[in-house]
Amino acid sequence: MRKPQRLVIGAILTVTATIAALVAGVTGPASAAPQSHIVSSYDDDPQQVTLIVYSASMNRNIPVTVLTPRNRAVASPTLYLLNGAGGGEDSATWDARTDYKKFFANKNVYVVTPIGGAFSYYTDWQRDDPALGRNKWQTFLTKELPPLIDGKFNTTKRNGLAGISMAGTSVLNLAIAAPGLYKSVAAFSGCARTSDPVGQQYIRFVLDRGGANMENMWGPLDGPGWRANDPYLNAAKLRGTKIYMTSGTGLPGPHERLDDPFVEGDPFFLANQAALGGLIEVAIDQCTRQMTTRLAQLRIPAKVNLRPTGTHSWGYWQDDLHQTWPQLARDLA
């Protein structure tokens, strides 16, 4: 299942950066600031379209892949499906690691995935970061992109949102920030705590991979910015949104086998998945259980799959997508 990316992401990002530089070069100081818009559209194959979208909030172009419905003549809902810590810029993506294209090929839904946002938590950072630059992903995903998607495609304007790992935290915060935009939200192996020591340690682990400064994201670690972006503390704002969450215990499960298609017989890959993936999922499971308890206290319904085994890895996230989709589809109908 660890196949190469279908898109040459590096080339796309280089081209879009060049376009953005050219636009900046010809835009004089007296010119009005450009609004977010679709720069170009490419048909990658009969099922997939890649859009280049200019984000006014980040002043750069963002590639966005769109899987189109089986029947484009009929208005269809939209599922915004986010990648994990790599933001789709590496090989750990829905496209490269799962069967999501085949899975959605016979379904009437637009599946929209931005390419970018590595280590950003898909949030609006308080300050530009020397390593990651300007990140205003909450603005992009909740305000800039949806009207462009609805204007470009034959959508019903009914949206769902799902993400894994880092984005499993993000999807909860995005739903809180934009009430009513998403009918349902699915967090696969995402930590719903951000302002407590465990949650912040996990975020540090992610951001350190990108060389980012944590305080550039939401300010001082004991400050109000972190509490304002903690789904656990703000869980009451999820009332009215259908919620789905999953996690494993970190113990080896059905995908920790050499003959598993996600492992492809690689003993070193398997050892890393079992050890590091297991350790990460232990922390994620604690977060998920705490969030489950919090939602129950608030009497907010949620469907939670707390697996007795399973690591922080793609085999389980593909299973999560397959198993959760029928419920998401009903919410979007």
Structural tokens at position 288:
């998920």
Active site residue 144: no
Marked catalytic residue, from 36, 76, 120, 165: 165
Q: Distances from the Cα of 54 to the Cαs of 4, 131, 182, 288, 313, in angstroms?
A: 26, 21, 23, 35, 32
From the DSSP assignment, how many helices (H) and strands (E) are in the chain? 11, 9
Orientation of helix 197-209 relative to helix 267-297, angle to 10°: 140
Structural tokens at position 229:
């972006």
Active site residue 165: yes
In angstroms, the CA 84 to CA 90 distance is 10
Q: Decide if 34 contacts 60 (C-beta within 8 A).
A: no
- The SS3 call for residue 54 is strand
Structural tokens at position 38:
């679709």
Residues involved in catalysis: 165, 264
